[in-house]
């Protein structure tokens, strides 16, 4: 968002709650319309350089025997080889570097107050400062603070889709199985592992909400204990995964939720990314969609002379497309982590269909191809010649 606003001649300020740019994090698959945005930023070579050339998703049973397989190469071919997987933090770093150090960034700060006036928004910060801006754009994720301050409590907008997710990484884990997601599932539970560079392995644990027995763990210790309990009867490599989980200091844990808002803006405040319309990890595309929303919103702001029309045009262009992505993610959730033994078996059998010529095209077409063409904002987004542009 800041990159495109800057390129259009605006002067954004970034507010980031973390003390420094967040690094590492879970792996994200990156393709589709967000890939097109990265291309327009000239970032594709760098994204590909830090990305992994995923070969397959391999499903295994409790004894480690392969019971299903999706060839990532086949999927990637269907997407014109415009697909890669990379750590979230690496992509965030590339996006931030694209600003060329030219955008004021306040780390370790959050917004406490937002008060809209006739000519701007008065923003009060957690460090006591306050400033007035023309607009505030909330790009602060699924549990957006800006959304809460301006639109109200999360529970009005959050749609929990019945699963929880945890992610963490470990050093020195064996086996590795390079360039493959290896995934073991049994009813209501699914574990993925992916070997990364520097001898690290990322784990993703997904489970159906009913295994928590109604109580959501809050502290890191409670979350670890809940995971150990939920997966206590897992087979496969569970003793080793369990040990990696016990040892980890940085555990990501959250409800798998979507955000559904009646409107993505109110007055001088608009939302983008997960804050506006989280599709959830099940869509496997939230990052690219967030980048697309940011590009479109910035483009409309650069083209328009009044923010209200720009906000309306932004939502008008994207709403139907994003609603469709949310709906297909909800439908896909039960295949991502089936709740019954029959469901696990059917999902594994379905992956075998991917080996039949023509089937990947149908499935990729239905699930992954984006029915949205990026608008071209032309000169209005190229007013600032000091911003690095592709070529
Ligand atoms: C386990 C998992 C796997 C996923 N896999 C994929 C995948 O394969 N492909 C894909 O495209 N997407 C995937 N996603 C979804 C993707 O991560 C999100 O859609 C994407 O990160 C949304 O980007 P965002 O910028 O809107 O929000 P976030 O990435 O959540 O970023 C929000 C930023 O705001 C900051 N912030 C938060 N609160 C405040 C505050 N109060 N004040 C200031 N700053 C604040 C945060 O520190 C952070 O830097 C996955 C998600 C999960 C959880």
Q: What is the pLDDT along the chain (391 residues), one digit of tens a residue?
A: 999 999 999 999 999 999 999 887 899 999 999 999 999 999 999 999 999 999 999 999 999 999 999 888 888 888 888 999 999 999 999 999 999 999 999 999 999 999 999 899 999 999 999 999 999 999 999 999 999 999 999 999 999 999 999 999 999 999 999 999 999 999 999 999 999 999 999 999 999 999 997 789 999 999 999 999 999 999 999 999 999 999 999 999 999 999 999 999 999 999 999 999 999 999 999 999 999 999 999 999 999 989 999 999 999 999 999 999 999 999 988 888 999 999 999 999 988 887 787 777 776 666 778 889 999 998 888 888 677 666 4
For ligand 1, pick from 113, 196, 274 the residue to mutate: most ligand atoms within 8 Å of CB: 274
Task: Name the one residue in this structure whose structure tokens are 């506006």.
Answer: 276
Ligand 1 binding pocket (C-beta < 6 A) is 15-18, 22, 26, 28-30, 88, 110, 139-141, 145, 165, 167, 204, 273-275, 281, 284-288, 290
Sequence-ordered list of residues with C-beta below 8 angstroms from that of 276, at least 6 positions apart, any chain: 138, 147, 259, 261, 264, 270, 293
Backbone phi, psi, residue 66, to 5°: -70, 130
Which residue, by CA, sits nearest to atom 2 of ligand 1? 281
Question: In 3D, which of 114, 108, 93 has the Cα closest to residue 51?
Answer: 93
Residue ranges of domains in the chain: 2-54+80-158+258-335+362-376
Look at strands 265-266 and 252-259 and give their pairing.
unpaired
CA distances from 325 to 128, 251, 262, 331 (A): 40, 28, 16, 10
CA of 142 to the centre of ligand 1 (A): 7
Instruction: Look at the pTM and tell me if it is higher than 0.85.
Output: yes
Sequence-ordered list of residues with C-beta below 8 angstroms from that of 242, at least 6 positions apart, any chain: 228, 231
Question: In 3D, which of 141, 142, 153, 149 has the Cα closest to residue 116?
Answer: 149
Where does 2-54+80-158+258-335+362-376 sit in CATH, by number? 3.50.50.60
| Predicted local distance difference test score (pLDDT) of residue 209 | 96
Look at strands 13-16 and 104-107 and give their pairing.
parallel
């Amino acid at each position: 968002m800041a990159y495109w606003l800057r390129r259009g001649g605006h002067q954004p300020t970034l507010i980031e709650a973390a003390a420094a740019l967040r690094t590492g994090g879970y792996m994200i698959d990156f393709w589709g319309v967000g890939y097109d945005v990265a291309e327009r930023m000239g970032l594709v070579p760098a994204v590909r350089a830090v990305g992994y050339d995923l070969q397959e998703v391999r499903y295994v049973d409790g004894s480690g025997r392969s019971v299903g397989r999706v060839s990532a190469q086949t999927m990637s071919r269907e997407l014109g080889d415009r697909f890669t997987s990379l750590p979230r933090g690496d992509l965030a770093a590339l996006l931030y570097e694209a600003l060329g150090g030219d955008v004021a960034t306040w780390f370790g700060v959050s917004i406490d107050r937002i008060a809209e006036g006739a000519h701007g928004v008065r923003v009060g910060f957690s460090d006591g400062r306050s400033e007035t801006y023309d607009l505030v754009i909330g790009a602060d994720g699924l549990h957006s603070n800006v959304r809460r301050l301006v639109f109200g409590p999360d529970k009005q907008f959050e749609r929990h889709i019945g699963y929880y997710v945890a992610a963490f990484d470990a050093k020195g884990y064996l086996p590795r199985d390079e360039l493959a997601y290896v995934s073991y599932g049994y009813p209501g539970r699914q574990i993925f592992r992916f070997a990364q560079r520097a001898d690290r392995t990322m784990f993703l644990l997904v489970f159906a909400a009913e295994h928590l027995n109604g109580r959501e763990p809050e502290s890191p210790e409670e979350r670890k204990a809940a995971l150990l309990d939920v997966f206590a009867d897992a087979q496969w490599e569970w003793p080793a995964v369990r040990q990696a989980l016990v040892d980890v200091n940085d555990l990501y844990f959250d409800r798998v939720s979507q955000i559904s808002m009646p409107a993505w803006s109110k007055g001088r405040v608009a939302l983008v990314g997960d804050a506006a319309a989280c599709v959830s990890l099940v869509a496997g595309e939230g990052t690219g969609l967030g980048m697309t929303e940011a590009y479109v919103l910035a483009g409309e702001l650069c083209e328009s002379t009044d923010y209200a029309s720009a906000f309306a045009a932004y939502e008008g262009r994207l709403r139907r497309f994003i609603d469709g992505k949310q709906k297909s993610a909800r439908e896909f959730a039960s295949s991502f982590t089936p709740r019954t033994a029959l469901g696990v078996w059917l999902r594994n059998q379905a992956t075998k269909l991917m080996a039949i010529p023509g089937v990947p095209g149908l499935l990729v077409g239905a699930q992954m191809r984006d029915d949205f063409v990026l608008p071209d904002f032309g000169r209005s987004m190229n007013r600032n010649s000091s911003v690095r542009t592709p070529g």
